[in-house]
Chains A and B, each alone.
Chain A
Amino acid sequence: MNAEKDNQFDNNLRKALHKHTEYVPTDFTDRVLNKIQLQAEKKILARVILLERLSLAGCILLAVSAIAAAVFFTVIYGSLTQQFNIIIYQFTQELANLQSNWQFYFVFLAALGFAGYNLVELLAGKN
């Protein structure tokens, strides 16, 4: 008897709750889709800003590297032209010289390469 009453109560509760629906604004779906689109646009904008900042950092690094090279490696900087001429005519000897200064050339080329890439991105980037 009690089980029957319980079942009836459950069924009535189920029926009553099925009848009820919550009010949802008619433009809700459109607003959700607009929010999603806005979010996607924000992401793209954030990426563009990041790339622009990297480009700027690259340019600054290039300038700083050039200044550092001029100020701290004046001897090497001063003899670059001479070394360049010697490299053409006495390749193996200058290769030994290069090997002893490889750290400087490596850092300078890396910085130059990075700055150059960012300059290209800045000037020719399609975003």
Chain B
Amino acid sequence: MAVRAANKLNDDWLNRLKAQDQQVFAEFVEKYKGDVFMCCRTLGLSGDQADDVAGETFLAAYQALPRYKAKAKLGTWLWAIAYRQAVSFLRKNIKYRRLKARLKGEFEDSSEFSPTAAIEQKEEHEKIWLAVRKLPGLWALSVILYYRQGKKISEIAEIMRINENTVKTYLLRARKKLKRTLGPIAGEVKDER
């Protein structure tokens, strides 16, 4: 009974969102703005750039809401829009060769993440995050979507408009690089619950 009531509430909320109800849309923005910023920053945009692209993402989402047919989850749908907006921004602002290098290029090793680095270090999880961000954009995004957002391979493929084998390749390569770079640092992340 309670589950049915909750589902009905969700359906009502979704219907109002598709009808572009301002209050519900504000809730939608509040709920997903973190994810959209995460997508932009993972692809290498600066803070200000991420702000602009995130704004454009929600604008595009607002216009596309009446056509949303719930084939994909709402979060997945929004991630796809954010990804396209971010790549479109990068395409306009970076020359093709640099864009290719940024999204698919080889990882540049950095001693910053060496286990024997200086004493004044960020928290462990921030170091891991920085290591992920240093990966080529598409690898980093695959990692974020898989490990942080809990998306399935098929959903990641849909968001990034690539095939599933490519997603698996990105994840495999990303894991290898991260293991090599982080080594003992990724051994234990303290659970602060």
Residues of A within 8 A of B (CB): 8-10, 12-25, 28-29, 31-33, 35-36, 39
**Cβ of B25 < 8 Å from any Cβ of A?**
yes
Across the interface, do B189 and A9 meet the contact criterion of CB distance under 8 Å? Answer: no
Across the interface, do B191 and A15 meet the contact criterion of CB distance under 8 Å? Answer: yes
Measured CA separation A24–B145 after assembly (Å): 19
CB neighbours (8 Å) of B128 from chain A are 12-13, 16-17
B168-193 contact mask (Cβ, 8 Å, vs A): 1 or 0? 00000001001100000011110110
Residues A13 and B59 in contact in the complex (CB < 8 Å), given A28-B54, A33-B26: no
Interface residue ranges of B4-52 to A (CB < 8 Å) = 22, 25-26, 29-30, 33-34, 37-38, 41, 47, 50-51
A contacts with B: majority SS: helix
Across the interface, do B37 and A22 meet the contact criterion of CB distance under 8 Å? Answer: yes
Across the interface, do B47 and A17 meet the contact criterion of CB distance under 8 Å? Answer: no
Across the interface, do A14 and B22 meet the contact criterion of CB distance under 8 Å? Answer: no
CB neighbours (8 Å) of B47 from chain A are 23
7 A–B pairs (Cβ distance < 8 Å), ordered by A: A17-B129, A24-B33, A29-B29, A31-B55, A32-B29, A33-B22, A33-B29
CB neighbours (8 Å) of A8 from chain B are 187
Measured CA separation A16–B51 after assembly (Å): 24
**Cβ of B100 < 8 Å from any Cβ of A?**
no
Q: Name A32's contact: one of B37, B55, B124, B191 (CB within 8 Å).
A: B55
